[in-house]
Amino acid sequence: MRNWKYKKENGKEVWKELEKVMVYNSRDAIFGDWLDLILNSLLSLTDNMSRLNLVKKFQENKLDGEYANRYMEIVKKHPPEKIKHFANAFAILQKETRETQKDILGDIYMEMITFGQHGQFFTPEHITDLMAKMITTTDKTFCDPCCGSGRFLISASKENPDAKLQGNDIDERCAKMTAINMWMFDLNSEITWGNSLIFENWKGWRTKKGGWIYEFTPEKSYSHLRFD
């Protein structure tokens, strides 16, 4: 029988908050909803930045638009008293990520969601740091066609903070985690969910320093994984 206890120190308090939302055998669904709540809340904030009454709408929790509507659809799936735990988990995640400068989100995913299923063991950070150091720091672009939770891109940013970071993953959850990590680390990036082997992408997110994040349809952008 599997031991469901969270064993790592990093991310432990985040997981405690998420557990408060869970019912039997719901961890995959809860984790997926949490990622979507985070992404849509960030996208909604960026989307509402051009509104003249942004401060008032933000204070009254009345942001509008496509991403705000998506957010509320997810909220409706859960009891009102549980929603605060999603927000608490994200607040703790941001704090721990900022303090440790590590991929806490990826740790949670491996530790409690996939357990390494489908080969989803992400490269240890000391290895991605070494790999990044082996690449010339004058490069303007770093690309990871199987980005997982974005660890190599995070390591690359330490060597060249101004680099354009590009990542792709066939697992939608991984692409979302990378986009969230890029936002938390305040990096310029373009992340896509797709199959890098056949140059087919289905959805993407761009982050820009300063807390900006945008969703885009890859067909309307350049295919950043084509090398010919």
For residues 150 and 182, give the distance between their C-alpha atoms in angstroms, rounded to a whole number: 8
Distance of CA 116 to the CA centre of its chain: 18
Q: Where is pLDDT greater, at 115 or 140?
A: 140
Say what the pLDDT of residue 136 is: 60
Look over the chain and give the mean of its residue pLDDT values, rounded to a whole number: 88
- Closest listed residue to residue 191, CA positions, set 200, 210, 204: 204
pLDDT per position as a tens digit, 82-139: 999 999 999 999 999 999 999 999 999 988 888 655 557 788 899 999 998 887 666 6
What integer pLDDT is reported at residue 221 of this predicted model? 44
**Per-residue pLDDT tens digits for 20-61:** 998 766 888 999 999 999 999 999 999 998 888 888 887 777
Distance between CA 177 and CA 191 in Å, rounded?
A: 10
* Chain-centre distance for alpha carbon 24: 25
Is the pTM for the entire model greater than 0.95? no
User: Which pLDDT value is given to residue 4?
Assistant: 65
Domains, the chain, ordered by start: 12-116 (no CATH), 124-220 (3.40.50.150)
Strand order, beta sheet including 141-144:
141-144, 164-169, 189-195, 200-208, 212-216
3-state SS string for 195-221? ECCCCEEEEEEEEECCCEEEEECHHHC
Number of Cβ within a 10 Å radius of residue 11: 27
Strands 189-195 vs 200-208: parallel, antiparallel or unpaired: antiparallel
Is residue 228 pLDDT above 50, yes or no?
Answer: no
The average pLDDT across 65-84 equals 94
Q: Are 182 and 37 a contacting pair, CB within 8 Å?
A: no
